Amino acid sequence: MIYLNNMLVSESKAVVSVFDHGFLYGDGVYETLRAYDGVLFKLNEHIERLFQSASLIKLKLPKTREEIGKAVYETLQANRLKEAYARVTVSRGAGPIGLDPRLCPKPTLAIITNTFKEYPPSYYKKGVKVAIVNTRRNFKGALDPQIKSLNFLNNVLAKTEAIDRSAYEAVMLNYRGYVAEGTISNIFFVKDKVIFTPSIEVGILDGITRRIIIDIAKETGIKVKEGKFRPDNMYEADEIFISNTTMEVMPVKEVDDVKFNVSAGDMTKAIHKAYRSKVREYIREING
């Protein structure tokens, strides 16, 4: 079952107009959430970021924060899912061809939930390969990465480069050559027991998982440095990991041709363990 605008409908009936500006121009925003044991982790934070993204493109969302949260849970429960992911998409809506947002009087809201398929255990045990690609992250003065936009071509091009190089994820640099982020992930590296991660000013999405990791590090006395870093800083790191809502904290075994000993990645393992603890604590709080 898919939640489309104001109701739950079957997948076959969940259709959107070919004149929808999300389809025509990538004009819209989205959020992806993960459910653990039927509880949507950090639901309020994700919805708040959805509203922030919408505000940045001057898109008025068709429901309140509370109504969207309720609709996501309705969709999850209608599909009888416990371990799942959910995607909330809001496009500008249908209207005549043209870039003027005033052509679309009514946004389109779609909520999709599906069973979450665990990543292969080998990814966490042995790590994944990433590649620093030629495709640059969008310049924030042109398209602010803080907007979780439906226009994902920048990321698709980077992902295509990574695939061509047999890498799981692409690492994009910004227009000045500083490490920015992956196509669907934030980037962290460890050197001399200090965690480094690109700052927001570099031009990245302020990932919710990223924020949690930074908080975990600070709570446990681990020093975190947000700043501007070059590829050489990654090559010279002791450990590297990437993060997002679904993968949580995933170790990296190789950047381009530089290999890392994932089995010795004590900091990465500790952060992931603490992250899982945060998830369990959150579920307990929600369930009372």
Q: Does residue 240 contact residue 187 with C-beta atoms inside 8 Å?
A: yes
Q: Taking 80 as the threshold, does the pLDDT of residue 288 lie above it?
A: no
3-state secondary structure the chain: CEEECCEEECHHHCCCCCCEHHHHHCCEEEEEEEEECCEECCHHHHHHHHHHHHHHCCCCCCCCHHHHHHHHHHHHHHCCCCCEEEEEEEECCECCCCCCHHHCCCCEEEEEEEECCCCCHHHHHHCEEEEECCCCCCCCCCCCCCCCECCCHHHHHHHHHHHHCCCCEEEEECCCCCEEEECCCEEEEEECCEEEEECHHHCCCCCHHHHHHHHHHHHCCCCEEEECCCHHHHHCCCEEEEEECCCEEEEEEEECCEECCHHHCHHHHHHHHHHHHHHHHHHHHHHC
Mean pLDDT in the chain?
97
Mean pLDDT computed over 210-234: 97
Q: Taking 80 as the threshold, does the pLDDT of residue 222 lie above it?
A: yes
Percent with pLDDT over 70 in the chain: 100
- pLDDT tens string 138-180: 998 999 999 999 999 999 999 999 999 999 999 999 999 999 9
- pLDDT tens string 99-147: 999 999 999 999 999 999 999 999 999 999 999 999 999 998 999 999 9
Q: Taking 80 as the threshold, does the pLDDT of residue 49 lie above it?
A: yes
Q: Which domains does the chain have, with CATH numbers?
A: 2-115 (3.30.470.10), 122-283 (3.20.10.10)
Mean pLDDT computed over 89-104: 97
Confidence of residue 264 (pLDDT cuts 50, 70, 90): confident
Q: Quote the pTM value.
A: 0.94
Give the position of tokens 């979780």: 148
Q: Taking 80 as the threshold, does the pLDDT of residue 237 lie above it?
A: yes
Rounded distance between C-alpha atoms, residue 169 and residue 252, angstroms: 10
Q: Enter the tokens of residue 95.
A: 């209207």
Mean pLDDT computed over 201-205: 95
Q: For residue 146, count other CB atoms closer than 10 A to its CB.
A: 16
